A = this chain, B = another copy of it.
Amino acid sequence: MAADAGAGEEAGVDVTSPRERYRAQVRSDIKARAWDQIARSGATGLSLNAIAKELGMSGPALYRYFGSRDELITELIRDAYRSLADTFRAAAESGAGLEGLAQALRRWALDDPQRYFLVYGTPVPGYHAPDDITAIAREIMGALLDVCASAGLEAPAPASASFTAHLSQHRQWAEGHPAPPGVLRKALAFWTRMHGVLSLELAGHFTGMGFGPERLFDAEVAELTPGR
């Protein structure tokens, strides 16, 4: 719709050809519909045919943009990881600490539960994520480690001394991060506990139990942030 195209290669601000821009637009439309469908009926109920029909084009046209159904889903998973990594980075740089990170995570999860489950939900037995996605996963762990490292650790729990010692020699996942074992332990505790409460809440296992899920979440966060 914008009409200021056609300048040469000069300036180099917009190197995308009209074809490329159109293609990117359609791809983005497809993904938007896919997210709608996933939010409505889960990744299982995602239908390429239905998406194509919604976009006014007929079935196989969609294969010009995504090689297969799995390829589209993988792309959505990648975007979900990317979105979570950005959320973590932003929370880490905001200086809000572990508490802030936890609240950012919960907001991100509640914003689209199925997106959360695309990252941390039931795995497909055969599936192996491509390398760039595991790289984003490491980026997420990196942000978490940063926050844990700068948060300090007053009494990270005495009973896990043995495991903390184990971590001091099995820390290749930290990838050269200079955090001491106690910080690694804390990052793992944060990850597993936040996931524990969040995934059960998102899956609806707390509905009808009476208590407020956000209170449980906050209580769990409070135990992980003893200082404040």
A135 to chain B, nearest CB (A): 12
Q: Mark A59-71, 1 if CB is under 8 A from B, else 0.
A: 0000000000000
A95 to B5, CA, bound (A): 74
Give the size category of A's interface with B: 35 or more
A143 to chain B, nearest CB (A): 16
Task: State the main secondary structure of chain A at its contact with B.
Answer: helix
Stretch among A26-34, A83-91, A115-123 lining the B interface: A115-123
User: In the bound complex, do residue B211 and residue A200 qualify as a contact, i.e. CB atoms below 8 Å apart?
Assistant: no
- Across-interface contacts of A42 in B (CB, < 8 A): 122-125
Binding site for B on A (CB under 8 A): 39-45, 114, 117, 120-126, 134, 137, 157, 159-160, 162-164, 166-167, 170-173, 185, 188-189, 191-197, 199-200, 202-205, 208-212, 215-216, 218-220, 222-223, 226
Listed from nearest, the 4 A-B pairs whose CB atoms lie closest are: A196-B196, A121-B122, A163-B219, A173-B209
